Structure 1
């Protein structure tokens, strides 16, 4: 890593991408309306996101309220007036031989986190009031921490997240795209689980699918498994042998009374291609045909790609 790399010394303030895993979250996707002045109203509201976080968060600083804002390709120019981030494009649907990762509507994405669900609720209420008729809600998912950071399949999630200085290195755009330094690409997907089918599998088979032991979260050697595991397929190594990390902040969600059980995937990265390669490996297989067996019980129902600009950029919208 060169000393000139701005991921070592980001000159501007990034959004709270590195916020600790929270106990509660709201994943909010909205679509820009065709009302006159909608883009201007959105721009103004985004410029005050920091103020809203402070207003709600001050009620309990221990609640650690934060909100990251992602802006999609189709509205980037209209909302920001800035050059397009180098790698930003709309989510590309991935169609495998058996399963598909669909692309669904979404112009703006809000990742709201706190250790108190009521703080997430209050912030979202004020945010949607500020956005008003300029947007319509495409998806609203309420996440929660499940015991010791496990998903509803019973496995610990996010084990391989980068930490310390590596977090900024792998998540924040640097001097390769100077106008967008300190920003991050993010991809979101909502997965619904067939829990009965999953629970019908033996623990040994579940572990082979995930690539880790269930009780103590120990990594398994893919070479010993009958086919590539979820862990193996989502480990991205480039042609030079370097492994590329992303930051996941996935959360479970569900409504047992409605038979709904799921995981909301959210990944941050300085390079969009890394997450896209993960999805390609999962749905197409690596080698092709050896798709991720987690998809036998987990169905992707949404898919969106966004860019989270630095805080300085968001704050400038309010000027």
Structure 2
């Protein structure tokens, strides 16, 4: 995990001519990342670009990623994983904040009036990769070849192989309420010891814990994982404390199942008690193409024949 990240969600202009600008931009993204990154090679600058379902249809037409669809809200009332507009996602990461800032500025400059940014979050590493609520985040992330297998599309959707699906949500935390809890109560809600990050024993870990409800298994009993690159963010002077959730997976289904377990419950009613202190204010699903595919999208035509 890098020290800094910028998450940008934008919507497309309704003006048809601006779609040409976005398509041409797809062919420039990798070059812009290389140019900015060479200003500080130790900064580990990278950028992932994603497209929402409606945006894909407007920009590129058929064929389309097999499992790309609009994100539907999950839950009811105050416990709701909301669905919010999102056509383009930029996930910019680096160990130096100025690299993230410069790349975001350059990429948005090229897009110009073709898009409108609807959400921009500047995340940072918090101590030893802890979330704002004080627990280590992303402990169960797959690594190495396992990470590739869980997050990268293969021959099941060959035209879009080496791409991925990504779901983003911005959570705001009630830190006053959370900090009023005892450490033991917090640990039961998360399912881990706060200081050591060790998972609670199965015979004491509540079924409503965040850890329990976000653990999935397939029909063979094997755990199904996603890759999280969450980042804390906030404005202490405005009493804003949050976590930007971003999860990558080979299919959207595991992430959406985790959210259903959290917001509705497993079984229904046995929901994630972390949601008593954390509120999702955004939610969007994107397909992130490989770099070679992203560059070829500059030459794609839509069903209407426009380029």
Structure 1-normalised TM-score?
Answer: 0.91
The residue number in structure 2 matching 1:239 is 219
Q: Which runs of no fewer than 5 residues in structure 1 stay unpaired?
A: 1-20
Counterpart of 2:257 in structure 1 is 277
Alignment of 1:134-173 (within 5 A): 134-173=114-153
Per-residue deviation, 1:310: 1.0
Aligned length: 299
Q: Report deviation, 1:29.
A: 0.0
1:96 CA displacement: 3.9
SS of residue matched to 1:289: coil
Tell me which residue corresponds to 2:279.
Answer: 299
Matches of residues 32-71 of structure 1 in structure 2 within 5 Å?
Answer: 32-71=12-51
Equivalent in the alignment of 1:254: 234
Q: Which one of 276, 283, 290 corresponds to residue 310 of structure 1?
A: 290
Structure 1 residue matching 2:92: 3-state secondary structure: strand
Structure 2 SS opposite 1:78: helix
Shift of 1:240: 2.3
Give runs of aligned pairs for residues 88-237 of structure 1, distance below 5 A. Answer: 88-96=68-76, 99-237=79-217
CA distance in 2, matches of 1:115, 1:189: 22
2:304 corresponding residue in structure 1: none
Whether contact under 8 Å (2:188, 2:205) holds in the other structure is yes
SS in 2 for 1:176: helix
Deviates more, 1:254-263 or 1:90-99: 90-99
8 Å contact from structure 2 (residues 166, 288) kept in 1: yes
Unaligned ranges ≥5, structure 2: 300-307
- Confirm or deny: 8 A CA contact 1:250 1:265 kept in the other structure: yes
Between 1:74-83 and 1:158-167, the stretch displaced more is 74-83
Q: Are the counterparts in 2 of residues 249 and 265 from structure 1 also a CA contact under 8 Å?
A: yes
Asked if the contact 1:97–1:284 (Cα under 8 Å) also holds between the matched residues in 2, the reply is: no
CA gap of 1:140–1:97, structure 2 versus 1, over 3 A, is closer
3-state SS of 1:75 partner: helix
Deviation at residue 226 of structure 1 after TM alignment: 4.1
| In 2, Cα distance between equivalents of 1:131 and 1:175 | 32
Contact 2:206 2:212 in 1 (8 A): no
Report how far residue 224 of structure 1 moved: 1.7
Using the alignment, how far apart are the partners of 2:54 and 2:206 within structure 1? 42
How far apart in 1 are the matches of 2:203 and 2:180? 25
Counterpart contact for 1:229–1:292, Cα < 8 Å: yes
1:299, 1:98 → 2: CA distance? 8
Provide the secondary structure at the position in 1 that maps to 2:126.
coil
